[in-house]
Amino acid sequence: MKHFMVDNPFMTLSKTVWSDTTPADNSLPLTGLRLAVKDLFHMAGLPTSAGNPTWLFTHPIPTKTASSVAALLDAGAIFCGKTITDELAYSLNGQNIHYGTPSNPVTPDRLPGGSSSGSAVTVALDLADIGLGTDTGGSIRVPASYNGLFGLRPTHGVIPSDNMVALAPSFDTVGWLTKDLATLEKTAAILLKKSALKIKTPKRINNVLIANNLLDQVAHEKALKAQLQTWREQGCFPKESVLEIDTQTWKTSETFRTLQGAEIWHEHGKWIESLKSLDDVEASSVFAPDIQLRFEWCKTISDADVAAAKQQRQRFTDWLESEIEGSVLIIPTTPGLAPLFDASDDELAAYRNQLMDMTAIAGLAGLPQLHLPVCTLDGASCGLSLLGSKGTDMALIEFAKTLMESAS
């Protein structure tokens, strides 16, 4: 599969509104901060392509703005453009055969990660301060890791996902990427402020759990373990223990992919099938080959498959929640560095399965996960994630501040 790189991570369809001449209100918490919005979020008067020109062609221009976007604008953020996304957000690579693949500014020979590729690259290039995106299977956490950014996947459901293109609603979250933790925290204070979920939120984390077995499986484990040791020596861990997560036994990737795929077909199957009746649309060229294959697989998922996966998800969630209550779990964000741009389709598919074994942990249980850009290896960015119980989003950020102060 051939892809072309683009230096501009913005969607050209919104160039005319990149600048905002509205006088700044210095009393607002996000005054002066530039906001880049993934092209899944609806904004009144602007088209939403969802990373696919046929979607753009077959859907009307939105008349309403996503409440998450409106909240950030109301808080003083300056909209600077909509950004490229992988097709319908159904990828973790950051590639798009229609609009191009944003160039990873840290390591241009490697993929930027997706599906919030444009939002991540925009922030990494210092063209925006806040990259608003979504995370279903890792689409905030993965590009955060590859581009040396902070990235938060919040507790599932704490931020409304209205007026945006869904992928798999029981996993979809609104997330964001920033260069610094202070900006990430300011954004969290706005988006988490009016949470519809009533979750008891702990003010502090009393125990650190290390997923050592996951560290042993990753390509950059030496660098990550060195960072953990530094934090230990600096007294950052009040109490530490080990948690073994056997992703193969729990079937995290398989369970996640089955449930996600079924939801995707429920959301988009009717539209995908309708394309066959459009005279001016060549069905075989609507999607990238790998995306097309995934959609075809989604169609084959049976009710029995879904029922079994739901049971497995519940068992895993119950176990994980009981293990991490009152603690923060530290895990590698990805199993390796960003794949090389010229990696083969087979290599990318194999890596995707490894990657989803890790990203599915938070996804299946609906838990918050915060990526910290604390490592580099051979010039490429990588790092560790903090994962906590539901509702611990702000507590994770507070703990991250302690860790990052010691890392500086």
Structure tokens, 177? 């990427």
The Cα 318–Cα 365 span in angstroms is 8
Residue length, the chain?
Answer: 408
Give the per-residue SS3 of 252-295.
HHHHHHHHHHHHHHHHHHHHHHHHHHCCCCCHHHCCCHHHHHHH
Give the per-residue SS3 of 335-348.
CCCCCECCCCHHHH
Give the per-residue SS3 of 35-54.
EEEECCECECCECCCCCCHH
What SS3 state is found at 223? helix
Its sign, for the CA torsion 108, 114, 117, 120, is negative
Gyration radius of the chain over CA positions: 20
> What amino acid positions are annotated as catalytic residues?
38, 115, 139
Per the DSSP assignment, residues forming a β-bridge with 151 are 177, 371
Residue 357, number of CB atoms within 10 A of its CB: 21
3-state helix, strand, coil in the chain (%, to 5): 40, 15, 40
What SS3 state is found at 87? helix
What is the amino acid identity at position 361? I
Structure tokens, 242? 């080990």
Its sign, for the CA torsion 72, 76, 81, 84, is negative
The Cα 393–Cα 23 span in angstroms is 32
